[in-house]
């Protein structure tokens, strides 16, 4: 059923579509019988995806909140799909930058029995290499002696070759 009518004449939308409800008055004794059809159109509640930033630039290893939200929020959750998960992916609404490159994050909401599907939105993600540096003190040696180079990396813990 698209719609139902209770004993008080309240129309309740059940599913998306259009139907006709016939109203009739008269008893054909005192009053003539008269009927009219009322068209009832039931639609899903519209939704929209809002994106704060359509373009995001990150360094590899960093993350940022996607800034995407659904209106109305009670409609449900958003789905995120990355065009290149080796570069960037989304988990719980947070964009994670893996490595240098570009990816397009598609944000979607499929809808359900009550809420309409939203138009997909995209977030273009550009990931740059994170800066790195290494330093070490100069060493002065005598012939046949040894010394150890103690490199300092930024960020700390990088492997030195």
pLDDT, residue 161, reads: 86
pLDDT, mean of residues 116-145: 93
pLDDT, mean of residues 17-23: 94
Is the predicted pLDDT of residue 117 greater than 90, yes or no?
A: yes
Query: Which residues on neighbouring strands pair with residue 106, listed in sequence order?
Result: 81, 122
pLDDT, mean of residues 127-135: 91
pLDDT, mean of residues 143-152: 91
| Helix/strand/coil for 148 | coil
> Could you report the per-residue pLDDT of 57-102, keeping only the tens digit for each?
999 999 999 999 999 999 999 999 999 999 999 999 999 999 999 9
Confidence of residue 18 (pLDDT cuts 50, 70, 90): very high
Confidence of residue 131 (pLDDT cuts 50, 70, 90): confident
pLDDT, residue 126, reads: 97
> Could you report the per-residue pLDDT of 27-66, keeping only the tens digit for each?
888 899 999 999 999 999 999 999 999 999 999 999 999 9
Distances (CA, A) of 144 to 133, 137, 141: 31, 20, 8
pLDDT, mean of residues 112-137: 94
pLDDT, residue 158, reads: 87
Distances (CA, A) of 5 to 10, 11, 12: 5, 5, 6
Is the predicted pLDDT of residue 155 greater than 90, yes or no?
A: no
Residue listed under structure tokens 């960020």: 155
Give the pairing type, strands 79-82 and 101-108.
antiparallel
């Amino acid at each position: 059923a698209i719609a139902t009518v209770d004993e008080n004449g309240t129309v309740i939308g059940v599913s998306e579509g259009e139907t006709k409800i016939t109203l009739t008055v008269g008893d054909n004794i005192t009053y003539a019988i008269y009927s009219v059809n009322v068209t009832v159109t039931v639609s899903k509640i519209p939704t929209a995806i809002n994106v704060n930033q359509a373009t995001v630039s990150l360094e590899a290893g960093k993350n940022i909140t996607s800034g995407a939200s659904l209106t109305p929020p009670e409609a449900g959750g958003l789905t995120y799909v990355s065009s290149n998960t080796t570069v960037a992916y989304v988990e719980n609404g947070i964009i994670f930058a893996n490595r240098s490159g570009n990816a397009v994050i598609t944000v979607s909401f499929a809808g359900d029995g009550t809420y309409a599907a939203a138009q997909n939105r995209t977030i273009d993600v550009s990931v740059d290499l994170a800066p790195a540096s290494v330093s070490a003190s100069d060493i002065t040696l005598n012939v046949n002696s040894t010394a150890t180079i103690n490199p300092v990396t930024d960020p700390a813990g990088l492997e030195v070759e």
